[in-house]
Structure 1
Amino acid sequence: MTGPTVSAPRSTEPESSAGWTPTPALGRAVLLAGLLLVAGVLLGRVDLVVLAAPFALGTAYALRRRPTALPQVWITCAEDGPLVEGGEVSAAVAVGNPDTVDYDLVVVRSRVSPWLRITRAGFAGVEPVDAPPAAPTPPASGRGRSAADRPFVTSAPSGAAVDLELAGRALRWGRHPVGPAGARVAAAGGLLVSRAVITEPVPVRVYPRTEPFEAVEAMPRAAGLVGAHHSRRPGEGGELAGVRIFAPGDRLRRVDWRVSLRARQLHVAATLSDRDAEVVVLLDVLAEAGRSGGVDGAASVLDTTVRATAAIAEHYLHRGDRVSLLEYGPGARRLRPAAGRRQYLTVLEWLLDVRAEAAQHEPYDQVFGPQLLSSDALVVVLTPLLDERSAQMLARLARAGRFVVAVDTLPADLSPPKDRGWAEVAYRLWRLDRETMIGQLREHGVPVVRWAGAGSLDQVLRDVARLATAPRVGAR
């Protein structure tokens, strides 16, 4: 993440002259000189021969040194550090001249992802061009015309390279390509032109912007030896949980003699287990809804899911807890649980490949095997609840005794369809059916909360922790 990303230069061998074709100017010059010479000879007019001489001599002089090598084109993307949504992005399209002949004209053009808003473009040493005024666009799109959306012209001396510098702003998370880029050059006074040389695009990694998130509540259970979040489960540790009556198996060093003397019955100091929390963030990628407007616009389901995942992972990983990621979808991707900054960077890299994809079969079994999901982990499910299978998955997790928190990622400002007829009525019925589904999940013990940044999960985690520490009644 500290070095630039460079595409391999494309060119042909310097010894080969293939790929160079005459321009219409060369054809016109040869045709005009030939006609004048033939007319002068046939008509016996010396003035026509004299008139043809400059065209013939000029063409011969321009072609005295013909180019043999095609230009080289490559793309360089500067990565001084992790690029986050809203950050400044810079790239360059370089055109190299490996020949011994100067290129009189170099025409360069490059495609750029619409999520990379290029505002300034120009060759090094030349005043960059600002983006032209864009046509009015809906506020949700966040995108306009790019300054790189046109050809750029310059010249290239022998054995040198020219750089088309692109600068702008990253609007959305993901892997956004710069390129493909192509160049055509003219040499020999514009009489010869090369074929187009095109290079492959280079992806620019844009990490999601982490929304503010802070959870002060402890985890319901934990299963490690490190971490800042102590378990709610009683056990050997250094955090005092209260005082209770002495029970067989308690150590004598835990006896609280002051309380015991006052109550005239042995009491011991109860502590919480010093074990770290394991957080499993489950991403429901069965459906997408809403229109993404980038970092400054509206957020779609995937935008909310990815940004919330990054915020939750950053919060718990920076406190020493272990975080793992799972996809509920046909791909069933998984990131193993780990802690530390390396895991956080891995989480960000993993999130760049999140895509919404419908599944024809039930992806439950291949995602939630007993070897993949710890029974003591807190499972945070980010789901829009657009698919009935998502609700069934949450109910299964709750019935299996998992500690589940469902985060609703459906945009609150999702607009109803504008079509006439029964579309609006169907939309209202779907909304009512979805609210009924959420109510049924809450009856099954699955808390459902809408993502709202800081403090989104505090009340829910408090309730889950209370359920985890409550005594359970077993059937005889």
Structure 2
Amino acid sequence: MSDTTVVEARLRWRAAPLARSLLTVVAAALGVAVIGSRWQLLVFVAPMIGVLCSVRWQRSVGGIRVSGEPAVVRCFESEQAQVSVAVTGAPAVLTVTPTAGMQLTAVEGTTAERRTVCGSAPRWGRYPVRATIEATAPGGLLVGVDTVDACEIYVFPRAAPQPTPLPRTELPDRLGVHLTRHTGPGVEYADVRPYVPGDQLRTVNWPVSARRGRLHVTERLTDRGADVVVLIDNHAQAPGPATQATERTARGAAQVVQTALRNGDRAGIVALGGYRPRWLGVDIGRRQFYRVLDTVLGSGDGFESLTGTLAPRAAVPPGAIVVAFSTLLSTEFALALIELCKRGHAVVAVDVLDGAPFEDDLDPLAGRMWALQRSAMYRDMSTIGIDVVHWSGDGALADAMRLVPDRHRTLLRRS
């Protein structure tokens, strides 16, 4: 949670109900006086006309401020977040209204100038809490209304609990939980070799040394950590199934980052395209998970902005594993994947497009030709080193990631 936010209201003044009632009575009385030649009605409505003429001299209310506490609340889907909205500076009536997709529940003990509500949303996203202020001028003939965003509720997507497998590749020399073929500190048996000066005595294999008459040590396979960078496609999509793929993109990114951080790996994210391209460097820890979710939603200021169409080198450290979520309809995003592959990264593209990006009432031959074209694209990208897997809406991401070919094992066999 962050500090309290204060927004100054800019009231739009209009006639109050009292002014409209007086105007209605004056108009009716003047009409009857003209039609029926009753001059006495003019004497009756003269004070009312004087009151209406004083509208231009009435002093309007100013300096009304709306405060939201806290300014930003973060929660997950279907969780409740409590916020308080208050109006200060002048007497006014405060009404809190939710945005589309969010539900607000009033908390007991609220007043006309301070509202405490609990908000929840079934879908992830950014939900501003809007406050409507209605203030009446001292004369009672004018009323000012304004609507401001008092605070925001950031709803994070829930990640599936299943771990997401990562492609096999050469990992940086850092301790982790991924078993490699390199010897070093670890628990898995690798080999036995003769003792050389500098070996630790605790690695001496005494039974083998006794049989062979000289000291031998046991070598073990080392466990290393990985750098995982998630690449998400925020380019404009055509209406239809392509726009619905945003849901799987956010959930898939959260699941990959959650699995990496649970394994002790470093994780980061790069969002290409859209109105605000951004990236967050790799890091470890629980706080990094929430920073990644903030970057997915484009909230806060913990990430860096970029202006190009390629992932910056600072965001993708050498030897990092890149998992991209995209509909693979943008040429700029495909070029970014190819550039990462040329840098030597292990790149896996997850196709989140479920179906063809056009209407179903076309000729069935168009759908089959589209499927053949996508298969050819998968083959061409695999040829240059980018493995593409399809993730449908009814399947799990872990099942799709298991279809990534083990290029590391193929290289070992060839060598």
TM-score, with length taken from structure 2: 0.71
1:185-221: CA deviations, max 9, x gaps?
A: 4776xx5122333434643222222123314679634
Aligned: 1:310 with 2:254: yes
The residue aligned with 1:408 is: 351
- The alpha carbon displacement at 1:326 in A equals 2.1
- The alpha carbon displacement at 1:318 in A equals 3.0
Match of 1:345 among 290, 293, 303: 290
**How many angstroms apart in 2 are the aligned matches of 1:288 and 1:261?**
70
**How many angstroms apart in 2 are the aligned matches of 1:218 and 1:388?**
24
Please tell me the residue identity of whatever aligns with 1:199: V
- The alpha carbon displacement at 1:384 in A equals 2.1
Please tell me the residue identity of whatever aligns with 1:440: D
1:229-272: CA deviations, max 9, x gaps?
A: 24515132123242266699995865656568889999763323
Contact 2:132 2:145 in 1 (8 A): no
SS at match of 1:417: coil
Aligned: 1:204 with 2:149: no
Q: How do 1:145-184 and structure 2 match up within 5 A?
A: 161-163=112-114, 167-179=118-130, 181-183=132-134
Aligned: 1:435 with 2:379: no
**How many angstroms apart in 2 are the aligned matches of 1:290 and 1:326?**
24
Single out whichever of 382-391 and 74-83 deviates more from structure 2.
74-83
Aligned: 1:271 with 2:212: no
Match of 1:238 among 167, 171, 186: 186
Please tell me the residue identity of whatever aligns with 1:340: G
Contact 1:73 1:198 in 2 (8 A): no
Single out whichever of 194-203 and 374-383 deviates more from structure 2.
194-203
Change (3 A) 1:408 1:373: same
The residue aligned with 2:359 is: 417
SS at match of 1:449: strand
Change (3 A) 1:198 1:472: same
Contact 2:94 2:113 in 1 (8 A): no
**How many angstroms apart in 2 are the aligned matches of 1:161 and 1:307?**
40
Q: Percent identity?
A: 25
**How many angstroms apart in 2 are the aligned matches of 1:252 and 1:93?**
65
In proportion to residue count, which structure has more helix?
2
SS at match of 1:86: coil
In proportion to residue count, which structure has more strand?
2
1:351-400: CA deviations, max 9, x gaps?
A: 1129xxxxxx993xx4254x553332222222222235545554554455
- The alpha carbon displacement at 1:281 in A equals 1.6
TM-score, with length taken from structure 1: 0.64
Please tell me the residue identity of whatever aligns with 1:113: T
Aligned: 1:447 with 2:400: no
Please tell me the residue identity of whatever aligns with 2:318: S
Aligned: 1:300 with 2:244: yes
Q: How do 1:249-264 and structure 2 match up within 5 A?
A: 251=199, 256=205, 258=207
The residue aligned with 1:336 is: 281
The residue aligned with 1:367 is: 311
**How many angstroms apart in 2 are the aligned matches of 1:35 and 1:388?**
71
Aligned: 1:286 with 2:235: yes
The residue aligned with 2:302 is: none
Change (3 A) 1:462 1:322: farther
**How many angstroms apart in 1 are the aligned matches of 2:240 and 2:197?**
60
1:167-186: CA deviations, max 9, x gaps?
A: 55313323232336353547
Contact 1:381 1:404 in 2 (8 A): yes
Mind listing any 5+ residue stretches in structure 1 that lack a counterpart? 13-17, 127-159, 293-297, 355-360
Change (3 A) 1:35 1:88: same
**How many angstroms apart in 1 are the aligned matches of 2:89 and 2:343?**
66
**How many angstroms apart in 2 are the aligned matches of 1:215 and 1:387?**
25
Contact 1:322 1:339 in 2 (8 A): yes
The residue aligned with 1:113 is: 99
**How many angstroms apart in 2 are the aligned matches of 1:389 and 1:28?**
63
Mind listing any 5+ residue stretches in structure 2 that lack a counterpart? 300-306
1:393-434: CA deviations, max 9, x gaps?
A: 5455445542222222223x56751455x5x54343222201
Matched positions, count:
396
The residue aligned with 1:83 is: 75
**How many angstroms apart in 2 are the aligned matches of 1:27 and 1:392?**
68
The residue aligned with 1:98 is: 90
**How many angstroms apart in 1 are the aligned matches of 2:361 and 2:403?**
38
Change (3 A) 1:197 1:465: same
